[in-house]
Amino acid sequence: MSVVSGIATLFVAAAALLLAALPSIVALQLLNLPFGWVGGSLEFVGAALGGVKLIAMAWAVGGRLFAGRPAGQAFATAD
C-alpha cells in the first residue's frame, strides 16, 4: 500500500466516523448551530463523500487499465 492510499484510507475512515457520530451529536444538541447550518453541512459532507467515491472508482478502473495482464491468465494461440 502506498502512502497516498494510506492517507486516503484514513480520510475515508475519519469521514465515516464523523457521519456515524453526527446524528447523535445533533440529537443531544452538543453543537449549538442553527438548523440551516446543520442541513447545509450534512449536504456538503454527503457531496464530498460522493465525490471521493467517484474518484476512487475512477482510480481503480484506471489502475486496472494500465496494470497489464496478470501472469496466470491463459491465452489462446492459433496453431
Q: What is the pLDDT of residue 47?
A: 86
Taking the C-alpha atoms of 37, 41, 42 and 44 in order, what is their torsion angle to the nearest 10 degrees? Answer: 140
Biggest alpha carbon distance in the chain? 76
For the chain, what percentages of helix, strand and coil (3-state, to nearest 5) are there? Answer: 70, 0, 30
pLDDT(58) > 80: yes
Mean pLDDT computed over every residue of the chain = 78
Which pLDDT band, with edges at 50, 70 and 90, does 78 fall under?
A: low
| Cα 69 to Cα 58: distance, rounded to the nearest angstrom | 19
Taking residues 4-25, report their average pLDDT. Answer: 84
- For residues 12 and 52, the answer to whether their CB atoms sit within 8 Å is yes
Per-residue pLDDT tens over the stretch 27-40 = 787 877 677 776 77
**Global pTM exceeds 0.85:** no
